[in-house]
Each structure stands twice: as structure tokens, then as C-alpha cells.
Amino acid sequence: MLQPGVLTLAATPIGNPLDASVRLQRALAAADLIAAEDTRRLARLARDLEVELRAKIISYHEHNEAERTELLLAALREGRRVLVVTDAGMPVVSDPGFQAVRAAVETGLPITVIPGPSAVLTALAASGIAPDRFTFEGFPPRREGRLRSLLESLAQEPRTMVFFESPRRTAATLAAMAEVLGEERPAAVARELTKTHEEVVRGSLAELAAWADEHEVLGEIVLVISGAQPTTARPEDLVDAVLQRAATGERLKDAAKEAARGHGGISARELYDLSLRRRAADGS
């Protein structure tokens, strides 16, 4: 049962409504105020769960989160039962809710969470990729330059990486990942998790990029990417490869960056400095 004056964040099903917890059903029925990312989806979920909503329902999404947070705080101060839900999964995690949590913390109002379905953990469990240590990266940048910059910063990340992605951008993102992180990097594409057409496609980044390019990718997408494997190579071992690339006209700095890619623990800057010194010593 919801407690009055307590901000409650509740996870909702990511696809199959039968995954809804008993606590969620009771919270929906008992709430005085429900802040929903999409009020129409909330109404459909309530119908699926055969729950009668008696609460006042307001929309609560990225475009009005700051403004509506004040309404939530006012209701909490009045001792009302306030519930925050999103379209699917847990509020706050790549979804609205963080501003409400931060505001409640700052004003000393209590917070509780009703746990439940998670697209991140569901995809990770089904991926076949090491789940012991992982990082959630949310939605990658849409712009190509920013996407590449992010991927370059993650090229040596040893933990498994989990991303959300739009179906229409999945092919381009996988292609960029294959180019920056390495074509042979193990990965998985999970789509429509817990729904009728659930599918998990596993393979190398190159294979998945080709698959996405050949198929119409539909539904909610989660990408699971294996972390970088440690290497025993030393920077000195890669200097010749850098100089060979530079001899074809490639900038030395770019050649060092490309040679360092895929070798965990080797700094592109250190490799560049070594190559610069070697080239100076050789008089070339």
C-alpha cells in the first residue's frame, strides 16, 4: 500500500503486462496522484491489469518534468500518495523521474521504489555476454561525430556495455561500433523483450551490423557489447605499425590512435610520442 507523503517510483512492464508486480497493481489502485510519462499507456496498462484508477493523473515527461515536479512536491507536502511511472521499466533510468527524486531529497521528503522489470538486466541476462561487471550507457549520441567520440572513449572499457537505441539508428550505430571497437567484438541485439516478437541476435559487431543493414529493425532495442580484452602488447611493439601507416600519408597522430585501438592499456598519446622519437632518430 502506498504511504501518504512518500514519493513512490514504480517499475512497469517492459512489454508483457503479466510481468507487473502485485505491489504495482496495489499502488496504482491506491494512488492519489499518478505522474505518468504517457497517460494513454498508463490507461492501457490499468485496463490490462484490471485496475481501476481513482487518482488524479498528470503527464510527466522530459518536456515538462521541471514544471510538474513542483506539483508532485506540493502533493507530497499535503500528505497525498504520489506515484511516478514511465512507459516501461524503471523511472529515472533513461526516463523521467530524476528531477523529482533530487527535489525530494533536497527538501527532505521520503522516497521509496517498487522494483520490477528492467530492459537492461533482461537483455544482459539473455545476451550470452559476461554479466559480472557492466556499464549502462543509455542512448548513444545521434550525431556521427559525437557518437564516434563516445565510442573512442569506450574502446578500452573492460566491462560489458549496455546501450538503448532507436530501431532506425541501430544499423548505423552498429556499423560505427564495428569500426571503432573492432569488427570481431562479441555483441548482441535484443529487441521487443518480453513481447510476442522477442528476438535476441548474437554475433560479432561486424555480423550484427550486416544483419541490421539487411533487415528492417523494429521495436525497442537494447545493445549489449562485450568489454575490451586485455592485451599483452607493449607500446614499443606497435611503433613499426604506426610508422608504416604514416609512410602512406596518414597523419602520425591518427596512425597512433588507430594502432592503439583494440589494445587495452596502451595509450595513443604514449604510442604517438614513441613513434615521433623513433622517426626523429631515424631522420625521416
Cα separation values, 122 from 130, 135, 157, 166, 192, Å: 13, 14, 21, 18, 11
Q: Is the pLDDT of residue 20 over 80?
A: yes
How far is the CA of 186 from the CAs of 129, 244, 259, in angstroms? 8, 29, 20
- What confidence score (pLDDT) does residue 203 get? 97
pLDDT at 154 over 70: yes
Quick check: helix, strand or coil at residue 112? strand
Asked whether 166 and 263 are in contact (CB, 8 A), the reply is no
Distance (Å) of CA 32 to CA 56, 57, 84, 180, 276: 6, 9, 11, 50, 68
Kindly state the average pLDDT of the residues 52-68.
94
Q: What is the pLDDT at residue 210?
A: 97
How would residue 127 be classed by pLDDT, with cut points 50, 70 and 90? Answer: very high
Cα dist from 52 to 48, 71, 88, 107, whole Å: 11, 23, 19, 32
* 87: pLDDT strictly greater than 90: yes
pTM of this structure: 0.81
Q: What is the mean pLDDT of the chain?
A: 92
Task: Please report, for residues 58, 221, 222, the alpha-carbon distance to residue 169 in angstroms, rounded to integers and kept in the order given.
Answer: 31, 10, 12
CATH class name, domain 7-117? alpha beta
Q: What is the pLDDT of residue 76?
A: 96
More confident residue, 210 or 243: 210
| Owner of C-alpha cell 608504416 | 244
The span from the CA of 50 to the CA of 37, in Å, is: 20
The reported pLDDT for the residue numbered 259 is: 80
> Hunting for cell 551490423 — which residue is that?
209
Write down the pLDDT at residue 232.
Answer: 63
Residue 267 half-sphere exposure, CB side, CA atoms within 13 Å?
5
Task: Kindly report the CATH class assigned to 120-225.
Answer: alpha beta
pLDDT tens digits along 246-269? 888 889 888 888 887 766 567 788
Give the per-residue pLDDT at 231: 64
Q: Kindly report, residue by residue over 181-213, the tens digit of the pLDDT.
A: 999 999 999 999 999 999 999 999 999 999 999
Quote the pLDDT of residue 265. 63
Average pLDDT in the 65-91 region? 95
N- to C-terminal Cα separation, the chain:
76
Decide if pLDDT at 230 tops 80: no
